[in-house]
Structure formats: structure tokens, C-alpha cells
Amino acid sequence: MPELPEVETVKRGLAPSMEGAQIEAVDVNRPDLRWPFPKQMAARLAGQTVLRLRRRSKYILADLSSGESLLVHLGMSGRMTVSGDPLGQFVHEHPQLEKHDHVVFWMAGGARIAFNDPRRFGAMDLLPTETAQEHPLLAKLGPEPLGNDFSEAYLAQALSGRRTPMKTALLDQRIIAGLGNIYVCEVLHKTGISPLRQAGKVSAARLAKVVPAVREVLEAAIAAGGSSLKDFKQASGELGYFQHQFQVYDRAGGACRTAGCEGVVARIVQAGRSTYYCPVCQR
């Protein structure tokens, strides 16, 4: 599933074609994805101007001139691909639509944005912009890891007394919004913290390394266009490249890349998910 860097990459890729532009028409080619689409979605979107694109956790929100916001979740295999010329200066033919292009946005100026989702675990909804934070998918999310509310003091308080493993705690969206399996593995390796250690027993000195490590890993991943392991593509259709920088994720049996460490990357399963770490330098 796309995590924060992938969703942020898609949002930034959509911005030139969508922000400040009018949605001329929308083709909705099936009644649902993971859940049914909102009633009259195409009619409610057509003619509206996209005032702003923003991201909350793993969701993209498009604030519209109607006072509603379109919420988009990419799910396991969803992607949004732009074709055409967003500025309307040249004539570009769009590629032929694909079988799983379930929702297609036609923008003023000539850009086309296709939402493709072979597994149909993605979702879209329309909600009042003013109360968007109260939507069931957003209401209980923790702070954004790249925002000011995510701090050493906050994290220490949030993890205090928790007996759950550190890996599980960092994956809890109520604690930190947007972190997923790939980047938690990378953060824990960067900080030398075992994914098995109880979250409430990580020392203050070691916990102080987590916040900057989270930011460094996420920012590096965004700069690389995210990680493309299976289905993920940027809005341009290009792959992300951060998978080439993985230190532990999907590297079971490989040598640990920490300087001076002679450990071998191990894979274990925690809460049904693969965890990759170095048993030698992560304690």
C-alpha cells in the first residue's frame, strides 16, 4: 500500500494539472471501489474549481469551490496518472484509457487524470471542507510526521508505558499519521532500535533520535519519488526510486549496511507484516 512518501509524491504530481483548474467533466465507470462512490459524484465535481490539494496521512484531499472536498485513498494498487497539457498551450493526444481506469477527470486546459485501481481497494468520498477533519477516516489520526506537532516531547508522551513492540507502536496511525511498514523498518534501523523492544522501554536518549530519523527517511523517500515495489507509479507514470536506498527493507539475508556492523538482515513477522532488521546493531 502506498505510504506517506508515495501519496505526497502523487499529490505534488497532480498539483500543476489540478490546483486552480476547473474540472470540466468526470467519468465514473463503475459504482464503487472499496466502498460505493458518493451519490451523484460526477455531477457534484463537474464545473468545480480545485482550490487546493493537500495530504492528510495517506489520503489526498482536493478542496473544491463548492465547499466540498474530494477525498482520495489509493488503496493497495491505485494510482492517478496525468496526461495532456495542464496549461492548455499545446495539443497532446491522451493515451488510450486502460481497463481499470475507474474514474477519469477531464480538466479545463486539456489535462486528463485517470484513477486506475486493478484491485479496487482504493476509495473516494465527498465531504464538507469545513469539517473534513471529522470524517471517520481522518478523525482519529495522529500528527503529521513532517509537521510541527510531531516532536520528541509528543512521542515520549505517546509511547510512555506502552508494552507493544516499537514497530507496532510506530505503525499505529493514532500515534503518527502516514507511517507504513517500509519506512518504519528503515527508521528503526537508522536509530538502532530493535522492532521487538517494548515502546515504553526505549530510553529517552534513543527515543530522541526517532523524530529526526523519521523526517530524514520520509524526506529522502519523497525526493526519490517514493518506493515502487509492485504497483506504485508517480502521477507522471514514472516509477519511484527510493527502493534502491533501502537499508533493511526486503533485504533479508543481505549484509547490514551500518558502518562496522557484521550483522545480516533478518525477516520476522509482526502483527501479520514482514519486519526487516539487523539483530546485531538494533537493540
Q: How far is 274 from 161, CA to CA, in rounded Å? A: 25
The residue count of the chain comes to: 283
One domain for residues 227 and 110:
no
Is the pLDDT confidence value at 264 over 70?
A: yes
Report the CATH number that the domain containing residue 161 is assigned in CATH: 1.10.8.50
Annotated active-site residue 31? The verdict is no
Answer whether residue 145 is part of any domain. Answer: no
Report the CATH number that the domain containing residue 39 is assigned in CATH: 3.20.190.10
Name the active-site residue from 2, 5, 86, 195.
Answer: 2
pLDDT at 77: 87
Name the active-site residue from 55, 58, 197, 251.
Answer: 58
Chain mean pLDDT for the chain: 93
Q: How far is 179 from 5, CA to CA, in rounded Å? A: 9
One domain for residues 76 and 186:
no
One domain for residues 108 and 213:
no
Annotated active-site residue 279? The verdict is no
What cell was used for 127? 465531504
Annotated active-site residue 273? The verdict is yes
pLDDT in tens, 64-107: 999 999 999 999 889 999 988 655 554 457 878 889 999 999 99
Domains held by the chain: number: 2
Answer whether residue 213 is part of any domain. Answer: yes
Residue 70 in contact with residue 126, Cβ under 8 Å?
yes
One domain for residues 124 and 15:
yes
Annotated active-site residue 44? The verdict is no
pLDDT in tens, 185-195: 999 999 999 99
The whole model's pTM is what?
0.91
- Comparing CA positions, the residue from 258, 168, 150, 277 lying closest to residue 211 is 150
Percent of the chain with pLDDT over 70: 94
pLDDT at 104: 97
Name the active-site residue from 12, 44, 267, 273.
Answer: 273
Kindly state the average pLDDT of the residues 204-227.
94
Domain hosting 257: range is 152-277
One domain for residues 104 and 181:
no
Answer whether residue 283 is part of any domain. Answer: no
Sign, CA dihedral 163-164-165-166, equals negative
Q: How far is 40 from 28, CA to CA, in rounded Å? A: 10
Q: How far is 8 from 6, CA to CA, in rounded Å? A: 5
One domain for residues 110 and 176:
no
Is the pLDDT confidence value at 263 over 90?
A: yes
Q: How far is 219 from 147, CA to CA, in rounded Å? A: 12
Answer whether residue 242 is part of any domain. Answer: yes
One domain for residues 219 and 258:
yes
One domain for residues 157 and 128:
no
* CB-neighbour burial class of residue 91 (10 A; exposed 0-12, middle 13-18, buried 19+): exposed
